[in-house]
Structure 1
Amino acid sequence: MRSVSENVSVRLYHLDGGPEGGAATTLFYGPLGKALEIAAEQPEAIQDGLFLATDNDVVAYVDLIEG
C-alpha cells in the first residue's frame, strides 16, 4: 500500500475463501484509522481474510500490521 494518512477513505472487507471461490463482505467504509480499529477487534480467523482497499491499491490486513 502506498503512503497514506490515517484519514484516507478505505473499504475494509472480509474475503471468504469458501469452496465456491468465496465472497467479499464489506465491514466498513471510512477513514483508515477507524478501519484498523475495527479490523483489530475481529477474531484472528477473520483477520486472516481481511483486506483494505483504497482508490488505487489493496493490501491484506495481516500484511499491513506485520509489515
Structure 2
Amino acid sequence: MRSTYLEASVRLYHLDGGSEGGAANTLFYGPLSEAMNVAALQSEDVQHGLFIATDNDVVAYLDLVEDW
C-alpha cells in the first residue's frame, strides 16, 4: 500500500467469491487502526476475502497484516 498512517480513512470490505465475481460488503468505514482491529475479529474464512481501500489504493487484508 502506498504510504499511509494509522488514522487514514479507509473502507474495510469483504469480497465474497460469488460466481459472477462476487459482491463487496462494507464492514467498516473509519481509521486504518480501527479497521485492522475489526478485520482481526473476523473468522479466518472471512479474512481471506477482506480488502482495505484508501483514497488511492486497495490491498488485501492478509497482505497488509504480514507487514503490520
1:39-62, Cα deviation, whole Å (9 max, x unpaired): 000000000000000011000000
TM-score between the two structures when normalised by the length of structure 1: 0.95
Identical aligned residues as a percent: 69
In the alignment, which residue of structure 2 is the partner of 1:17?
A: 17
Structure 2 partner of 1:41:
41
CA RMSD of aligned residues (A): 0.8
Q: Give me the TM-score of the superposition, normalised by structure 2.
A: 0.94
Q: Which runs of 4+ in 1 moved over 3 A?
A: none
Q: Which consecutive unaligned segments of at least 5 residues does structure 1 have?
A: none
Unaligned runs of 5+ in 2: none
